Chain A
Amino acid sequence: MPEPAEREALEVEGTVRELLPNALYRVELVSEERPSVTAHVAGGTSPTRLRPGDGVVVAITPFDAGRGRIVRRR
């Protein structure tokens, strides 16, 4: 009897488009149905500085397609 699959976060590539308040970023996604997500940077309070135009990899939870977590630069 098969088991329901655990839903995993999906990693997609994108580009930072806009700096938002609260250390959030608007990230434009490459090749996704959804054009952009609101994303925060992974890694707690580390003062990562991203600027518009920076390439990043975003993990998107299956529970909310509009939110992302920036896991690394690319």
Chain B
Amino acid sequence: MSLQKSWGELETMARAARLVIDTLDILEEASVPGTTTLELDRIAREAIEKAGARPAFLGYRGFPGTLCSSVNEEIVHGIPGSRKLREGDIIGLDLGCILGGFFGDSARTVGVGRVSDDASQLMNVTREALHAGIEQCCPDKRVGDIGHAVQTHAESHGYTVVREFVGHGIGTNLHEEPQVPNYGPPGRRERLVPGMCLAIEPMVNVGGPEVEVLADGWTAVTRDRRLSAHFEYAVAVTKHGPWILSEPYPYGQLEAEAVNA
């Protein structure tokens, strides 16, 4: 386990992260009524391979797809298949790639056509909760501060956060230490240090937080079958604060070299 990445490694991480985001943009465009999740999976795989990268999820612990596509009450880990998207659905698109030896991993939930106000509110709050967590990614904060910020924001809108699945460190492996829960007391767990890369990924439910995994061994759904949304970014802790790796380095080029010093 190597927690801290050098500046050069972070740059490679950023390229992988950006490829995932670019591909998610294409997938978001393609998420229209009538598309099947298998077609989205094919688009994702082609885009990643065309860029000279490899899908990160395909074959990971036996996962059969490039993309995790999770529709409506599906929280995460949905297996792409013949399911056709319908107007008003919301679909979680979770994608990972390996580029230059490093992993990119990001997710967003998008509406298919026009969605209900309840659904778009859920998606907005989940995205905000993710950013509340990202703001905590400063040196000397703790992993627990991230989860606390996410949970506080989601629950202030009457939603619940999923406990059974958590965010994770990311780098030369898809899942590295530490685990990053989306709940819990602040000030606990591992101390954040510059060069650490974390995949922060709140999963927020309209109803209860309970999870059920379907017979396929992957698809996680809400036990009460109510809506769930999921957003994820890979974030580096720098001495100046958080860097969402798919975005340009936000603290100026001069300091860039010293990010890890």
List A residues at the B interface (Cβ < 8 Å): 1-6
Contact = CB atoms under 8 A, between A and B. Distances in A.
B76 A2 contact: yes
Contacts of A1: 56-57, 60, 63, 68, 76-77, 94, 96, 105, 107, 174
27 contacts: A1-B57, A1-B60, A1-B63, A1-B77, A1-B94, A1-B105, A1-B107, A1-B174, A2-B76, A2-B77, A2-B165, A2-B166, A2-B167, A2-B201, A2-B230, A2-B232, A3-B167, A3-B168, A3-B175, A3-B179, A4-B164, A4-B165, A4-B166, A5-B164, A5-B166, A5-B181, A6-B179
B142 interface: no
Interface of B: 56-57, 60, 63, 68, 76-77, 94, 96, 105, 107, 163-168, 174-175, 179, 181, 201, 203, 230, 232
A5 B143 CA distance: 14
Contacts, number: 38
A38 B203 CA distance: 36
A5 B168 contact: no
A2 B203 contact: yes
A29 B46 CA distance: 56
A25 B96 CA distance: 49
A30 to B, nearest CB: 19
B178 to A, nearest CB: 10
Instruction: Please classify the interface of chain A as helix (H, G, I), strand (E, B), loop, or mixed, using the class held by over half of its residues.
Output: loop
Contacts of A2: 76-77, 165-168, 201, 203, 230, 232
B53 to A, nearest CB: 16
Contacts of A5: 163-166, 179, 181
Contacts of A4: 164-166
The 3 A-B residue pairs with the shortest CB-CB distance, nearest first, are: A2-B165, A5-B166, A3-B168
A56 to B, nearest CB: 22
Contacts of B181: 5
Nearest to B76: A2
Contacts of B165: 2-5
Nearest to B168: A3
Contacts of B168: 2-3
Contacts of A3: 165-168, 175, 179
A26 to B, nearest CB: 29
Contacts of B203: 2
A1 B63 CA distance: 11
A6 B203 CA distance: 17
A4 to B, nearest CB: 6
